[in-house]
Amino acid sequence: MHLKIAVLPGDYIGPEVMAATLPVLEACLKKAGHTLEHSTHEVGGAGIDRYGKALPDSTLAACQAADAILFGSVGGPKWEKLPPKEQPERASLLPLRKHFKLYANVRPGLLLKNLIDTSPLRPDRIPQGVDMVCIRELTGGLYFGAKSTQEIAGGDIEAIDTMVYRKSEIERITDVAIATARARRKHLTLVDKANVLETSVLWRKVVGERVKATAPDITLTHMYIDNAAMQLVLRPSQFDVLLTENMFGDILSDEMAVICGSLGMMASASLGLDLNRHGKGYGLYEPSGGTAPDIAGQDKANPCAQILSAALMLRHSFGLEAEAKSIERAVEQTIAAGIRTADIAGGGPAVGTRAMGAAILARL
């Protein structure tokens, strides 16, 4: 198979973790007899610096011509003074998600056995470890509803974000969650705020009907967002698949990531409606964490989330399950061998980004 991908490293640690990832991806594909064609493009702050635009036209065109996007992370203090609408996150990542209709964000939360002591939770809270997936709706809700800020009577200022959801949007993400649960322990938890929010009332109704009509084999549980945030630290092993709207999913997935050891471990896949040249889902693959400006340029960042995102890309956009697994196994074995970046070293000896990448590559 010939894989054509657009590589968008972005800002701060983005290029560092990407540099550790590409050799792993290349080696994995070469070994399996595939060919990889990739080109690298500016996005986020890097796009602003070079082209005056967080999502340069040339970058978008390259994404369009590719089968999938491997994305690093964008944003940081350098561009924080720009007007909000021009900041890297809002002006590149969100338009990319919208442009490619990437409505389904899949974030696997797997606490590796060897990382149990890296979790902030006491080991007795996670006797069976944690193995869950967050399915986050990614192109609706507060992120994309109408926004405004205006002066109002009395010299006061009012800012508005709008949460909008349509039945059709909820149905399509529910289908992704059902398929995910079906391949796992068949337990789906819908997280909402149906005691307060109108959109949540619609979510409950639509998800309930959808599961009843199309997935009687799936057990559906409802949980309010505040309770879910608490249950996640209390007893994370009760969760299999979490389904939730955009903003709740953003918050819960960070919580899930640290419970699983570190934000530096959590990959993510953003999937849409379009198919690529291989007849598989076009997608964007990125670490769930940010650009970590505090450790950028120091060879300290954990490349695992980026490397595991590349594995998700092989699985979802190319159907290369065995290859995806081989990368996931190499990451697991590296960690089991005690080779760790500082975020997962628990105060013990740590290696840098490059050495971590090289150790994973060596185990492929």
Query: What is the contact surface with ligand IPM in residues (CB under 6 A)?
Result: 89, 93, 250, 288
226 in active site: yes
What is the per-residue binding string for Mg ion in 318-337, x denoting contact by CB under 5 A?
--------------------
Q: Which amino acid is it at 246? A: N
Single out the catalytic residue among 250, 282, 285, 300.
250
| Residue in the block written with tokens 């900041």 | 87
Which residue stretch of 19-27, 211-219, 247-255, 337-345 sits at the interface with Mg ion (rule: CB under 5 A)? 247-255
Nearer to ligand IPM, 250 or 323 (CB): 250
What is the per-residue binding string for Mg ion in 203-242, x denoting contact by CB under 5 A?
----------------------------------------
Which residue stretch of 6-14, 213-221, 249-257, 350-358 sits at the interface with Mg ion (rule: CB under 5 A)? 249-257
Q: Look at residue 89 and give the partner it binds from Mg ion, ligand IPM, none, a contact being a CB closer than 5 to 8 Å depending on partner kind.
A: ligand IPM
Single out the catalytic residue among 143, 165, 282, 285.
143
Residue whose Cβ sits closest to ligand IPM: 89
CB neighbours of 151 closer than 8 A, spacing ≥ 6?
157, 158
Nearer to ligand IPM, 87 or 317 (CB): 87
d(CA 159, CA 274): 35
| Closest distance to ligand IPM from the beta carbon of 70 (Å) | 15
224 in active site: no
CA distances from 150 to 40, 50, 84, 85, 292 (A): 40, 32, 15, 15, 32
Question: Number of residues in contact with Mg ion, rule: CB under 5 A?
Answer: 1
Which residue stretch of 130-138, 223-231, 235-243, 248-256 sits at the interface with Mg ion (rule: CB under 5 A)? 248-256
Q: Is 286 in the site for Mg ion (CB under 5 A)?
A: no
Phi, psi of 164 (to 5 degrees): -125, 135
Nearer to ligand IPM, 96 or 170 (CB): 96
Q: Look at residue 295 and give the partner it binds from ligand IPM, Mg ion, none, a contact being a CB closer than 5 to 8 Å depending on partner kind.
A: none
85 in active site: no
Q: Look at residue 139 and give the partner it binds from Mg ion, ligand IPM, none, a contact being a CB closer than 5 to 8 Å depending on partner kind.
A: none
Single out the catalytic residue among 226, 274, 294, 325.
226
Q: Look at residue 259 and give the partner it binds from ligand IPM, Mg ion, none, a contact being a CB closer than 5 to 8 Å depending on partner kind.
A: none
| Closest distance to ligand IPM from the beta carbon of 254 (Å) | 7
Nearer to Mg ion, 266 or 364 (CB): 266
Candidate list 67, 250, 328, 343; residue touching Mg ion; CB under 5 A: 250
| Closest distance to ligand IPM from the beta carbon of 88 (Å) | 8
Count CB-CB contacts under 10 A for residue 188. Answer: 26
Query: Helix 321-336 and helix 353-363: axis angle, to 10°?
Result: 120
Catalytic residues: 143, 193, 226, 250, 254
Q: Which residues bind Mg ion (CB under 5 A)?
A: 250
